[in-house]
Amino acid sequence: MQKQETLTKNQKIILDIIEKSSQPLKAYSILFDVKKKGINAPLQVYRALDKLVKIGKIHKIESRNAFIACKNSKCQIANATIFSICESCEDVTEIHDHKLSEHLRDFKDNKGMKYNKYNLEFFGLCKKCV
């Protein structure tokens, strides 16, 4: 059974907006959207984003400073994310590839480092943009 986080009002509002978007949203664009709901300051957005990232409901696309909902409803892999990013249309897709995930999970370097997280971003051109 999965631990069910109870989200607060602000967290729900922010998550809702991100989940309704198929593509990553930026913090200030989210802020703009939620002003009508009484969220007025960047910090309110960033705090909700931080929490949602932490519990795996959303992921941050580091190269884009944007946030996308995790489609995997039982996401065990908040700490193991893979994305493909089209450099033309900026379309972002989360990749779930068992073999690749396994390879990354099992990766050991030669420095004795203990990993607990990874983020992989592939860049290229999607079918439409080739």
Partner DNA sequence: CTTATAAATGTTATATTATTACACAGCGTT
Partner DNA sequence: AACGCTGTGTAATAATATAACATTTATAAG
Binding site for a second copy (CB under 8 A): 62-63, 84, 86, 93, 95, 97, 100, 103-104, 107, 109, 111-127, 130
Please report whether residue 75 would count as binding Zn ion according to CB under 5 A: yes
Nearer to Zn ion, 43 or 89 (CB): 89
Do 49 and 58 touch, CB atoms closer than 8 A? yes
Cα separation, 53 vs 70, in Å, equals 9
H or E element that contains 61: strand 58-61
Choose the contact partner of 27 out of Zn ion, DNA, a second copy, none; CB within 5 to 8 A by kind: DNA
In the complex, the smallest distance separating the C-beta of residue 7 from a second copy, rounded to whole angstroms, is 25
109 C-beta neighbours (distance < 10 Å), count: 7
Out of a second copy, DNA, Zn ion, none, which partner does residue 130 contact, by CB within 5 to 8 A per kind? a second copy
Q: Cβ(54)–Cβ(62) under 8 Å?
A: no
Residue list 40-69, contact with Zn ion (CB under 5 A):
none
Q: Are strands 92-94 and 80-86 parallel, antiparallel or unpaired?
A: antiparallel
Binding stretches for Zn ion (CB under 5 A): 70, 72, 75, 86, 88-89, 91, 126, 129
